[in-house]
Chains A and B, each alone.
Chain A
Amino acid sequence: MSNNSLVSISDYSKDEILEILESAADFELNPNRKTLHGKVIATLFFEPSTRTRLSFETAVVRLGGSIIGFSDVTTSSSVKGETLNDTIHMVSCYADAIVMRHPLEGAARFASEISPVPIINAGDGSNQHPSQTLLDLYSIFKTQATLENLNICLVGDLKYGRTVHSLIMAMSHFHPTFHFIAPDELKVPDEYKVFCKRNNIKFKESSELHDNFNDADILYMTRVQKERFQDMMEYERVKNVYTLKNNMLENTKSNMRILHPLPRVTEIDPDVDSNEKAYYFKQAQNGLYVRQAILSKVLVSK
């Protein structure tokens, strides 16, 4: 097993998180560095992805490495019934690191235990997506010039949204105040509220979006994800509950920025895109630099 894997945001200490953010800032100044020259990175996407896969692959290419892998599970041996155990053993014979997205929760942790090369978790079901969390932190840091003592308003699917859960855990190092805004069906799970209480993190909960975020430094919107619902009736009922519109931003703080892990569907109206407070496309661009920093930490500092 390789100890350099990144499976969960809780694998990194506060210092390691800050180290990634500093490194990402360096890569933003100079993204083309050949630190992965001669390295082969496998990208195994058992579940569809656009941003995460493309930004990881761009990161590898800009660092001078090569890519093998698949982005469509129907072209892999999984459809023949190959287990994850066998796929990882096989791919680790060819690659120096594996970036993996898998629909089953815990798949990345299991892979990291059997793989001789590092595993970078690019999402395991509704569990963890640490590179997204790190790029969220980088985006927060860049827009606010600090991570400390911020008001962070989390909106939408707080029950199934893995980015929300990981962000709560990662921000716990930096004394945040959270405001959870979600319909009753998608409220943040109790275990995260217990986590906040144990870590002396202030939070409040609401179920109305309008005018509820005027004290926020960060407005973190999330998509109600169809694939996370077992009950389609429940999905149809809640998917259009929250839509952020430009005229709702008038009384918000000047430093406030809107983040979204993307893709969005109906939760942010396109009329918000031209507002200077809309940061989600830049956030996606930040993902490249953060993933360069992660690949470098995992592979170069080995």
Chain B
Amino acid sequence: MEVPILKQGEVLIATFQAALSDADLNQLRMGLVQQVVKFRSRAVIVDVTAMDVMDSFASRTLREIAHMIRLRGAETVIVGIQPEVAFAMVQLGLTLEGVATALDLEEGLAYLTQKFKHTD
């Protein structure tokens, strides 16, 4: 199942569906990293609201996406992590350090708008 990548102004938005295979995740990573430069986006929002379980591969991929996007000159915000998932991730030591997070898509967009205003 391919993850659609939407373009909203200067931001790219990717929404995770419930069950993503490792191949899907790899594809998403490549897709995002390519498109962020193609569309000259300033930021990427990854919405994981639908994921009620997050394994170590998914979580590592999220961090890799964030770091690769950074190297490509944009910023990543992960939004919609479920409370149970958040605690499970922390217990596994997957804290997504250095990656911005927000409660949901709306918050993520608000965070980026605020940030863009500062840098403009």
Q: Are A and B subunits of one complex?
A: no
